[in-house]
Structure 1
């Protein structure tokens, strides 16, 4: 019976903390509206909203949950970030991750993150993650 109803309770990081600077054509996006959306247990998911400061800096805190691990199902977390700037939406982040640990979206903690809204999304392939981002960083701190 434990195969179907048991399972160890674990913490899952639905979205790792992220901070950096958003620019549009190289200029800071003062007051840009940031929408974080992620889903893991249903299609509706959850949305959270943040605002970039006068220099385009933003900070998104870590979002976690607890779940019961089971060999009959694979945890999959979908993530999206869109940024509203001058009345237009820009896609900045589209990721999926299957590892519930922190920073598995990018293979480690991003350092000096910079996101240019005019950039196309660049494919990021991590260990148990896949997606795209308009952001770059100098190095990862594992």
Structure 2
């Protein structure tokens, strides 16, 4: 579990609670809640482990939780204060990973890259509430400029896919 006390790294601090002073604060992973099932039954007691990379410094934030008897889980949002990214031009790209350990098996639940600093960008501004089925294959979604591979479904309108063959060529 992450400490509730922010850790400080070279003009960067990470915490799971939204700081009172929101200057230069980035949301690395929005709060996520939902239900996990396996073959139609709640995945009771499943261990959920989340790893989030920091945006502009080395290191990860890791936390975990367990599902209840109905397969319900919750992980809080993860924030990082990063003043350096407001001074120097830097691309925001944060890797997100959630794995589930259930009945001795490990499942990738969420593998993605968050490309926008705002909270709830993974659901285009809406709360991130998911329904996940461990027996399903990973599906790809492109949301808010980021790509997410997940066994979960959530109510979000995906980004429009731009195909290279549809782009105008030279001189067109």
Instruction: Find out whether 1:130 has 2:147 as its counterpart.
Output: yes
For residues 39-92 of structure 1, the C-alpha deviation after alignment (integer angstroms, 9 at most, x for no partner) is: 024564121010000110001111111112244321211100000000110000
SS at match of 1:109: coil
CA 29–102 in structure 1, closer or farther in 2 if over 3 Å, else same: same
Gaps of 5+ in 2: 1-22, 158-172
Larger RCO: 1 or 2 (CA < 8 Å, sep 6+): 1
SS at match of 2:48: strand
After superposing on structure 2, the runs of 4+ consecutive aligned residues of structure 1 that deviate more than 6 Å are: none
Separation in 2 of the partners of 1:71 and 1:44?
20
Larger deviation, residues 119-128 vs 53-62: 119-128
CA 61–92 in structure 1, closer or farther in 2 if over 3 Å, else same: same
Separation in 1 of the partners of 2:40 and 2:58?
35
Kindly report the root-mean-square deviation, in angstroms, between the aligned alpha carbons of the 2 structures: 1.9
Scaled by the length of structure 2, the TM-score of the pair is: 0.70
Report which of the two has the higher share of strand: 1
**Aligned length in residues:** 132
Separation in 1 of the partners of 2:73 and 2:37?
11
Scaled by the length of structure 1, the TM-score of the pair is: 0.84
